[in-house]
Amino acid sequence: MNTAWLQGAKTEQEREKLKKMVSGNIFALDKLSEICYTKVTELESVSRSDYDSAGWAFEQAHRNGEVAALKFIIKLIEERT
């Protein structure tokens, strides 16, 4: 299990409670992973019109940040066991 899931837990009881909560929400986490993956796919598709704007570099940087955040969430979900 990725240690990020257990952050903030001060005792072994709290850690165990968090582990059970995460492993008990498999359907919801799988659905969230699917949603994030779909959004990453959308964001990574680039069209020629994306470069027509004067601020395209800023838009691309923002998009890259979104993709990185979504991939982090997907990785957390994959490392939940």
How many residues belong to the chain? 81
Q: Quick one: pLDDT at residue 1? A: 84
Give this prediction's pTM. Answer: 0.81
Instruction: Please report, for the chain, the start and end positions of each structural domain, with discontinuous segments joined by +.
Output: 3-78
State residue 49's pLDDT score: 72
The one-letter code for the residue type at 53 is S
| pLDDT tens across the length of the chain (81 residues) | 888 999 999 999 999 999 999 988 899 999 999 999 999 999 988 776 777 788 888 988 999 999 999 999 999 999 886
Report d(CA 1, CA 29) in Å as an integer: 14
**CA distance linking residue 52 with residue 69, whole number of Å:** 26
Q: What is the pLDDT, as a whole number, of residue 46? A: 74
Handedness of CA 6, 11, 12, 18 (dihedral sign): negative
